[in-house]
Structure 1
Amino acid sequence: MSSPQQARAQASAITSGRTAAEAGPAPTSQLRQLFDGPRLSPGQRRIAQYLIENITEAAFLSITDLAERVGVSQPSVTRFASAMGFSGYPALREKLQSIALSTLAGAPGAPAEDQGNELQSAVDAEIENLENLRRDFGDPDQVIRIGRALSLSTPLTVLGLRISCSLAEYFAYAARRIHPDVRLVTRGGSVAYDAILQSREAGGSWMLAFAMPRHAQETLTAVRVARSAGLKVALVTDLALGPLKDEADAAFVVGTGSRLVFDSYAAPVVMSAALLQAMTDADPERTQARLEDYEQIAEEHQFFLKD
C-alpha cells in the first residue's frame, strides 16, 4: 500500500528532468472543470472532493488505496471513472497524473491559485447561479404569467418528491398564506396519483412541480398523470433538456449548486419566491385580506416569539 511519502517520491521521480510546464489553468480549476461536467452522485462527489484536495498524492494511488482513503468501495471508484467518461480507473489516473504533474513541475515563483477552499468555491458557484437567474429575470413576463395562473387555480397542487420535497414544502407553506386551497404532494406512486386526480376533480387547473437532482422517475410519472387528468404543469428544475421539461406546459430552468456532496438550492428558492410574489400581485385584495386574517390568528394564539 502506498504511503503519502512514497506517492510524493514517485511524483518527484516522474517529474525529474522535466522542464517547467507552460502556463495554463491552475490544477484546481482543471479538476473542477473536469468534475463539473457530469452529474455525480453524493458518493462520487466525495471522491471528487478528495481528489481536488489531495491531487499531488491521490493521482498516483492505486484503486485500492484511493478507495480506502476516501472510504468507499473499489467498484465505487470504477463507477466514478465511468461517470467521468473514462474507460476505467487507469485512464482516469493517467489524466489525474497529468494534472498533478503540472503542479509539481510548475515554474518557480509562479503565483499560487487563489480559489479559496471548497466551501468558498461552493458559494462562488451559487453566486454564478444567482447571477444567471438575475439575467433571466430581465424579462419577467413568464414568471408573471405563470404566477397569475397558479393564483387562479383552486385548488393549487404543489409536487415535490424525494430531495425536491423541501422546495415544495417551502413554496406550499408560503402559498397557503395567500391562496385558499394549496395541496402539497410529497409522496410518489398511487398516493400522488390520488391527490392529483382529486385536485383536478375539485376544479384545479395547474400543478407546480419541483424536480431537482437526482431526478426521480416517479416525478416524471406524476407529471404525466397530471397532464392526462387535464392539469397544466409548471416545472422548476435544473434540466434544460429532457422528458420532464418536454412534458411541462411551462418550465423555469435554474442552476443548482453541485460543488459539495449534496446539492444546494439558492437559485431555486429565489425562483420560488419570485413565483409567490407574482401570485400575490395577481390578486392583491385577496392577498391582503388573507395576510391580515393570518396575522390576527397568529397574534391571538401566539404562534411566534416577540421580537
Structure 2
Amino acid sequence: MGFCDEVKKRFIRLSRGQRKVAQFVIENPNVVATHIASEVGKIIGVSESTVIRFCYAMDLSGYSELQDRIRKDLLESKHVSAGEQLSIGKKHEYLFSEIMNRDVTSILNTIQCIDAESFEKATIYLHEAGIIYTLGYRQCAPSTCYLTSMLENFGKKVTQIKFNVEDIVNQINRMDTDSVLFVIALDSVLEDILTIVKLAKNKKVKIIAITNSSISPVRDYANISFVAGAQKQVALEANTAANSLVHALVEGMTLHNRNYYKKFLNLNAQLDDSLQFLEKRTLTMK
C-alpha cells in the first residue's frame, strides 16, 4: 500500500487542519518531497506545527520520514508509468473492449464504496424533497443533466443551477429546509462548488454529494456523500460510474411510492405518443 493510500484510510480521524495537510500531500507529492515543512505549511495556509502533527498522526517520526515515504512512492510510480502506454490516440482491434471494461471496473469500485444505510437515506431525501436543486459544472455537467432529466421524468420539481452569478444567487435565496441540493463534484476545481455548498448548508438544506475522492472538501458539508469511479480516474471517466449511481438512487426513490411515480411515467409515455401523432399529422398536411 502506498503512503497516500494510508493517508486516505486515516483521513476521517485527522483534525481539520491535518486534513488540509493530508489533501495537499495526496495532490502535490512533488512539492512535499522538495520543500521544507514551514514552506509547505505556508502554501497550505496552516502552521508548521500542524504539518508536523500530521506526520505524528500518520505514525511517522517527523517531516523527514514523510519526505522519505513520498519520494519512495514517486520513484515507484515512475517505474510503473514508464511501462504504460496511453490509450488516447491509440487504435487497436479491442479498443472498445478495453474502454468498456474500464467503465465496468469503475462501476464495480463504486458499488464497493456505497454504504447501504446512506443510500437508503438519500432515496428518502429525494422522495420527500419539496424541490431538488442539481449542481455540477464543467466535466460534471453531463451527469448533472442526466440526474435532472431522471428526476423530472418522475414528476419531481427540479432546478439545475446554471454557471452564472445571478442564477446562483437566485436559487440559493429560494432554498429552504424542504430543499435538497444534489451535487456532482468530480473536478479538481471546486472553489465555486464549495461556495454554493457552504451557503446551502447555512440555510439547513439537505445536501447529497457524489465525488470522485474520499477526501473531497465537498464531503465536509454534505449530509450524505458517495464516491464514484476508480482511484486516480479523471472526471470524464468517472461520469459513467456517477450516472450509474444516479440511476440507482432515482430508482430507489421511486420504491417509496411505486404507484405515484409510475403515474408520471405513464403520463410521459402518453405525451410522447401524442407528440408523435401530431408530428405525423403535420407532415401529412404538408
Give the counterpart of 2:258 among 284, 294, 298: 284
Answer yes or no: is 1:234 the counterpart of 2:204: no
Q: How does 1:120-139 map to 2 (within 5 A)?
A: 123-136=100-113
Structure 1's unaligned 5+ residue stretches are 1-32, 37-80, 104-112
Aligned-partner residue type, residue 218 of structure 1: D
Q: Secondary structure at the match of 2:250?
A: helix
- Give the alignment partner of residue 116 of structure 2, picking from 132, 135, 140: 140
Q: 2:165 aligns with which of 185, 189, 193?
A: 189
Does the aligned pair in 2 maintain the 1:257–1:263 contact within 8 Å?
A: no
Distance 1:175 1:148 in 2: 14
Q: 1:141 to 1:82 in 2, by over 3 A?
A: closer
Query: Aligned pair 1:296/2:253, yes or no?
Result: no
| Higher Cα radius of gyration | 1
Report the 3-state secondary structure (helix = DSSP H, G, I; strand = E; otherwise coil) of the residue aligned with 2:140: helix
RMSD value, Cα: 4.1
1:237–1:252 Cα contact (<8 Å) kept: yes
User: Which position in structure 2 is the counterpart of 1:212?
Assistant: 186
Structure 1 stretch 205-214 or stretch 183-192: which is displaced more?
Answer: 183-192
Aligned partner of 2:49 in structure 1 is none
1:91-130 equivalence runs, <5 A:
99=79, 118=87, 123-130=100-107
Q: Is the 8 A contact 1:211 1:235 kept in 2?
A: yes
1:30-41 equivalences in 2 (<5 Å): none
Secondary structure (helix, strand or coil) at the match of 2:119 reads helix
How big is the shift at 1:285?
Answer: 1.8
Evaluate the alpha carbon distance shift between residue 289 and residue 295 of structure 1 in structure 2; reply closer, same or farther with a 3 A threshold.
same
User: In the alignment, which of 154, 157, 167 is matched to residue 133 of structure 2?
Assistant: 157
Q: Deviations over 1:224-246 (max 9, x none)?
A: 11111221111111121242111
Which has more helix, going by share of residues? 2
Give the Cα–Cα distance (whole angstroms) in 1 for the partners of residues 245 and 233 of structure 2.
20
TM-score of the superposition, structure 1-length normalised? Answer: 0.57
Task: Check conservation: 2:206, 2:223, Cα contact below 8 A.
Answer: yes
Unaligned runs of 5+ in 2: 6-27, 35-70, 88-94, 281-286
The change in CA–CA distance for 1:124 and 1:152 in structure 2 (over 3 A counts) is same
Contact conserved, 1:188 with 1:219, CA < 8 A, in 2? no
Partner of 1:249 in structure 2?
A: 223
Indicate conservation of the 8 Å contact 1:122/1:259, yes or no.
no
* 1:271 aligns to 2:245 (yes or no): yes
Once the two structures are TM-superposed, the CA of residue 160 in structure 1 deviates from its matched residue by 1.2
C-alpha distance in structure 2 between counterparts of 1:206 and 1:260, whole Å: 27
Letter in 1 for 2:187: P
Aligned AA for 2:155? H
When normalised by structure 2's length, the TM-score is: 0.61
Query: Closer, same or farther in 2 for the Cα pair 1:262/1:211, shift >3 Å?
Result: closer
Q: 1:239 to 1:259 in 2, by over 3 A?
A: closer
Q: Distance in 1 between matches of 2:233 and 2:184?
A: 21
Q: CA, structure 1 residues 133+82, in 2 after alignment: closer, same or farther (shift >3 Å)?
A: closer
Identity percentage of aligned residues: 17
| Native 8 Å contact 2:210 2:227 kept in 1 | yes
Secondary structure in 2 matching 1:179: coil
Counterpart Cα distance in 1 of 2:232 and 2:100: 10
237-246 or 169-178: bigger deviation: 237-246
| Corresponding letter in the other structure for 2:107 | L
Structure 1 residue 116, shift from structure 2 partner = 8.5
